[in-house]
Amino acid sequence: MEIPFVKLEGNGNDFVLIDEMDGPVIPDEMKGEFARLYCDRRFGIGADGVLFVSPSDSCDVRMRLFQPDTSEAEMCGNGIRCLAKYVYDSEYTGGECTVETQAGVMPVTMSYSDEGEFTATIDMGPAKFMSADIPAAGEGEFRMEYDGFTVYAANTGVPHAVVFVDDVEAVNVNEVAPGIRSNPVFPEGANVNFVQCDGEDSITIRTFERGVEEETYSCGTGSTAAAAVAHHLGKMPATVHVQTRGGPLTIVMNETITMEGPAVTVFEGIIPL
């Protein structure tokens, strides 16, 4: 048996994509273990997660994402851009489509520039700030003090903790973040974002991702959450330029929030089984 795959990345957040549009390739009960094996950067392909694209009863396509710890994530902002590039390149959809995720329906628009660079804009829906919606302990909007940090939170498809700091490079992310990520106040855990405000409309972010269990180069839902919290607190305007370790994203907040950014096909391959 041979399994075709495509490797894609969005701002350095990288994924293995398996096409199941013609039917299941990896049985559901094996998808988590498949992700654990093939996300390994030494003994597998190497990725922050495995995307599965399949038909949907309610949308143009369905996206599922399994992470290196075998868990399934509700949504992924960089992942959905990578999936959008794949379905567009494969002519499964045109320049607009809807994607079914566990976090809801995500409308997507996409195009190539004259220079051949792919860009997708995702309607992320509104950010949720109430503790019950994140979910997090307590009532009202979430805020807590932890180890000298003030921690805010929002749900932008998945739970995110947001911490504002003067210098993101001074933070030992992989040392500090796990205590917040697994804190009992977050019953489902949370991604952790350290955010530096750079100017009137720009921030720099570093993200520790739940499920990957380490810092990643970029996180689309994390960038959305960071921009949303910064805007909600009056630190940023409605349009925020986010600099991740893997590149820039633009977040725009109106009735809903849109995220605009790139996706790149890295290579295609075959897994022999």
Instruction: From first to last of the 273 residues of the chain, give the pLDDT tens digit.
Output: 899 999 999 999 999 999 999 999 999 999 999 999 999 999 999 999 999 999 999 999 999 999 999 999 999 999 999 999 999 999 999 999 999 999 999 999 999 999 999 999 999 999 999 999 999 999 999 999 999 999 999 999 999 999 999 999 999 999 999 999 999 999 999 999 999 999 899 999 999 999 999 999 999 999 999 999 999 999 999 999 999 999 999 999 998 999 999 999 999 999 998
pLDDT at 1: 84
Q: Do domains 2-123+260-272 and 131-254 have the same CATH topology?
A: yes
| Cα angle value 33/63/135 (rounded, 5°) | 80
pLDDT at 32: 98
pLDDT at 273: 81
Phi first, then psi, for residue 52 (nearest 5°) are -120, 125
Pairing state between β 202-209 and 49-54: unpaired
How remote is the C-alpha of 104 from its chain's centroid?
14
Ranges of each domain in the chain:
2-123+260-272, 131-254
| Cα angle value 68/6/117 (rounded, 5°) | 110
How far, in Å, are 11, 214, 220, 269 from residue 247 at the CA level?
5, 18, 11, 26
Could you list the active site residues? 76, 219
CA distance 16 to 269: 10
How far, in Å, are 152, 154, 164, 193 from residue 149 at the CA level?
10, 16, 8, 12
Pairing state between β 159-164 and 191-197: parallel
Q: Is the dihedral of CA 68, 74, 75, 79 positive or negative?
A: positive
How far, in Å, are 23, 148, 179, 192, 223 from residue 218 at the CA level?
31, 25, 20, 12, 8
Q: Which two tokens stand for residue 89?
A: 């390149």
User: Rounded to the nearest 10 degrees, what angle do helices 77-89 and 220-232 cross at?
Assistant: 130
CATH architecture of 2-123+260-272: Roll (3.10)
Give 231-236 contacts, CB < 8 A, sequence gap 24+: 232/127, 232/129, 232/154, 233/152, 235/164, 235/197, 236/197, 236/200, 236/201, 236/203
Q: What is the separation, in whole angstroms, between the first and last Cα of the chain?
A: 5
How many CB atoms are closer than 10 A to CB 37?
16
Q: What fold characterizes domain 131-254? A: Diaminopimelate Epimerase; Chain A, domain 1 (3.10.310)
